[in-house]
Structure 1
Amino acid sequence: MLMAEIIRKKRDGGTLDQDELAFVARGITTDSASEGQIAAFAMAVFFRGMTRDEAAAFTRALRDSGEVLDWSDLPGPVTDKHSTGGVGDNVSLMLAPIVAAAGAYVPMISGRGLGHTGGTLDKMDAIPGYASQPDTALFRRTVRAAGCAIIGQTATLAPADKRLYGIRDVTATVESVPLITASILSKKLAAGLQSLVLDVKCGNGAFMDAPERARELAESLTGVAQAAGLPCAALVTDMNEPLASAAGNAVEVANAVAFLTGEARDARLETVTLALAGEMLALSGLAAGPDQGTEKARQTLASGAAAEVFGRMVAELGGPADFVERFHDHLPAAPVVRPVASDGAGTVAKVATRDVGLAVVELGGGRRKASDAVDPRVGFTALLPIGAEAGPDRPLGMVHAADATSADRAAALLRAAYTLSEDRPVPAPVIRERIA
């Protein structure tokens, strides 16, 4: 079998079989396929696409390029969630402990920030002492002891995908839906899941801004997951404004703990979190359906059990044992915190959500390139949602910055991202569609 002939076949619109796709994955893993060949393969798929069966076979091949975790020794179902990324999207921090407290096990392998979107792993790194990339033994021990663990991808899980993604990133093939699908699902299958729920973001703060593109990705992900033997459902959710009232790293962790303890909960964030929890519990067999799962998740959250699970997870992974009780004391705080005044008075009509995320990057809370360090202290809090009144006594939000100069720059960016109106807009539903 020759890599060049496989590339030629896909370039000419042919359908690759399971053996050919496994050959490609082996070539990526062992370096027997050159970067030029991998780039040519990715470009051929970009233009010619893949059938559902092809995408499923390629997903399995990427999964099998490394270690596949086995959780059969756990006494309950194993499930997880993946988000396609947004701004103020700290759902994972509440979702994992809620679902774990309801009886499932959640080995959540997450990523770092990408472009304007925040990364769950960067948020967890804001917790002092927290081992976000533990060895497999500590990962397994934490999942068993706490019911969940939020960590980063290890080098042994789907290594072919890691190399392929790096090449896609510099060859303008990132947007290929079959390759996005295979990339996401290969890592989730390697994590040994028994079910998966997907949060596909749609709007001006999402990678898939158009509804039809978001639906295409959600249908591809759920269809390929089912074809690969992984029960799956997807929610298409709105990202035309930040999901939480905080955007950054430490500030989103604080927002999450306040949510778990009942100190404060953003309405849209609560809707999405509980709906995803309901889907996870239903797929895990712990609820008769998504609605019953959502109600069970709501009760688990209200009882305080989810907050306890989060605290136990943090402690197991090296963080402070009293983190939930004293998170304000433990989280790093920015030296400059000030309100961001609006240019005038009115109702928030639109938010350029991507620009809010870029303002966090400008503050140092995200990366322009992979090697950049992230300042966990910076970001925004008290962000006004669409439909809220802004004016002299009601700032657009609070900026948290390392110094006055960066605070001024970020405040100007946030101000420009908000559009005020005399009319009160009708807020869009936060859950646009369910696909299963």
Structure 2
Amino acid sequence: MSYRVVDIIAKKRDGGGLSPDEIEFLVSSYAKGEVPDYQMSAFLMAVFFRGMADEELAVFTRAMMESGRVLDFSHLGNALVDKHSTGGVGDKVSLVLAPAVAACGAFVPMMSGRALGHTGGTLDKLESIEGYRTALSVSEVERVLRECGFVMFGQSEDMVPADKRMYALRDVTATVESVPLITASIVSKKCAEGARGLVFDVKAGGGAFMTSVDDARRLASSLVAGVRGLGRRGVAVVSDMSQPLGRLVGNWLEVEESVMVLRGAGPQDVRELVCVLGGWMLVLAGLAGDADEGASMLAASLDDGSAYDRFCRNVELQGGDVSWVEERMGRYRAEVCREFRAEHDGVVVSVDARAVGMAGVALGVGRSRVEDSVLPDVGVECVRKRGERVSTGDVVMRVWGRSEEVLDEVTDKLRSAVVVDTEDGDNVTSYDSSSIVIEVIGADKA
């Protein structure tokens, strides 16, 4: 059946509910180039103001997913799970999580993205490993997935083309912040990659897209409803992004820190978040009875070396060299380094994640525009983080860049990013949250 697009726009503009046929017609026609951008822009703005009912959102998301190729790995069984993060600073969790979950028996087809703005991109981090390939054919994706339990790849041109076009429009029409549109974009891509269960890591705080916990909760609830509307299983974890995750921020630097965690060491906040997210992934995969059991399984895979073994096998299968990785641990850095030191004794009360992230963009860690390139060896080390005591002259942050001029550009941002309280530190625990996890949404129906 054919519809007039202007009538669909007007109906949504006026607060009316759209039928499944109307939604499917609009999305499929747009994906085929039969609906002009100006009409889709008007529809996106109508959704921005009027929202979508759960039933509309489910149909809209499915139509977007089915606008292109949908991968099917069901022959590998039902333990096909993945995770999606809404983005943050120092968020290298995927690099640890995918091999650890695979080491516990699940399959993880992880389609990831690139850095944009102050948030990092998984593909850029992995490609800092010499030779590592993320542009894979469908047959290569399946081979890597089958042989090591997880695969890390980018979105191909024929997967979810409707989202690719809409995403570009949203960026230039001030409709990015719409929860239904965010939900449809994320869920359509993740379900198109073949996962049957999805765990969402929704960040909240100054370094996140959603700065308030309430906004993060709303998005988390919408994502869970969206994935369940497509007949998949889903859980969302709201996690803290008021300071960078881990201590290292940068493409190679985050690979290095991920290797530390995969070897049973590394920062506690990264390990904790990996175990919580991975625990729920194993529940959704049917491999753990509850999240605590799943988290224990994840921790064991990090401590016994099996997660690192999976990581190494994946590097080899996707064109990288494990010896290249191991030889550069602690050594692969840009040539110019600058240190920032505490001006007085005290306790670190905050490390501004957004300021660190924006400094990273200037250094070359991230992108201001999609077409920008990134650098592998630049970045920031948060030597001291919230709740840690410092003495006058202690190094609180290091930064690596390709030139003194670039470091001059980020110096003021980074110097003010770390705030040290001059009190004696007796109340140190009040400055540090007991857990990076704020809330789990959807656990009751996981």
* TM-score normalised per structure 1: 0.97
**Matches for 1:21-420 after TM superposition, within 5 Å:** 21-75=23-77, 77-262=79-264, 264-323=265-324, 325-328=326-329, 332-420=332-420
* Other structure's SS at 1:237 match: strand
Contact persistence 1:238–1:430 (CA under 8 A): yes
Counterpart of 1:354, as a letter, is R
TM-aligned CA deviation for residue 342 of structure 1:
3.2
Residues 380-428 of structure 1: CA distance to partner in whole angstroms, max 9, x if unpaired?
A: 1243210112344421122111112222333332111111112433312
Contact persistence 2:342–2:393 (CA under 8 A): no
Q: Residue 56 and residue 163 in structure 1: after superposition, are their counterparts in 2 closer, same or farther (change >3 A)?
A: same
* Other structure's SS at 2:416 match: helix
Counterpart of 2:409, as a letter, is R
Counterpart of 1:399, as a letter, is V
Gaps of 5+ in 1: none
Contact persistence 1:257–1:324 (CA under 8 A): no
Contact persistence 1:343–1:415 (CA under 8 A): no
Report the Cα distance in structure 1 between the residues aligned to 2:127 and 2:322, rounded to whole angstroms: 16
Residues 196-223 of structure 1: CA distance to partner in whole angstroms, max 9, x if unpaired?
A: 0000000111110111100000000001
Q: Which runs of 4+ in 1 moved over 4 A?
A: none
Report the Cα distance in structure 2 between the residues aligned to 1:313 and 1:176, rounded to whole angstroms: 36
* Other structure's SS at 2:200 match: strand
Contact persistence 1:257–1:327 (CA under 8 A): no
Report the Cα distance in structure 2 between the residues aligned to 1:250 and 1:86, rounded to whole angstroms: 16
TM-aligned CA deviation for residue 294 of structure 1:
0.3
Report the Cα distance in structure 1 between the residues aligned to 2:208 and 2:197, rounded to whole angstroms: 24
* Other structure's SS at 1:104 match: coil
CA RMSD of aligned residues (A): 1.5
TM-aligned CA deviation for residue 332 of structure 1:
4.8
Hey, what does 1:434 align to over in structure 2? 440
Residues 17-54 of structure 1: CA distance to partner in whole angstroms, max 9, x if unpaired?
A: 21111111112211111110010000000000001111
Contact persistence 2:343–2:393 (CA under 8 A): no
* Other structure's SS at 1:107 match: strand
Gaps of 5+ in 2: none
Report the Cα distance in structure 2 between the residues aligned to 1:351 and 1:320, rounded to whole angstroms: 34
Report the Cα distance in structure 2 between the residues aligned to 1:426 and 1:283, rounded to whole angstroms: 34
Report the Cα distance in structure 2 between the residues aligned to 1:307 and 1:46, rounded to whole angstroms: 43
* Other structure's SS at 2:199 match: strand
TM-aligned CA deviation for residue 73 of structure 1:
2.1
Contact persistence 1:396–1:415 (CA under 8 A): no
Q: Residue 383 and residue 150 in structure 1: after superposition, are their counterparts in 2 closer, same or farther (change >3 A)?
A: farther
Counterpart of 1:183, as a letter, is S
Worse overlay, 83-92 or 110-119: 110-119
Q: Residue 297 and residue 375 in structure 1: after superposition, are their counterparts in 2 closer, same or farther (change >3 A)?
A: same
* Other structure's SS at 1:277 match: helix
Q: How many residues align?
A: 434
* Other structure's SS at 1:328 match: coil
Contact persistence 1:279–1:290 (CA under 8 A): yes
* TM-score normalised per structure 2: 0.94
Counterpart of 1:356, as a letter, is V
Q: Residue 229 and residue 142 in structure 1: after superposition, are their counterparts in 2 closer, same or farther (change >3 A)?
A: same
* Other structure's SS at 1:365 match: coil
Counterpart of 2:304, as a letter, is S
Residues 71-121 of structure 1: CA distance to partner in whole angstroms, max 9, x if unpaired?
A: 022156110000000001000000000000000000101111121111111
Q: Residue 104 and residue 83 in structure 1: after superposition, are their counterparts in 2 closer, same or farther (change >3 A)?
A: same
Residues 265-289 of structure 1: CA distance to partner in whole angstroms, max 9, x if unpaired?
A: 1111111110000000011000001
Report the Cα distance in structure 2 between the residues aligned to 1:321 and 1:240, rounded to whole angstroms: 33
Residues 151-193 of structure 1: CA distance to partner in whole angstroms, max 9, x if unpaired?
A: 1111111010000000000000000000000000000111111
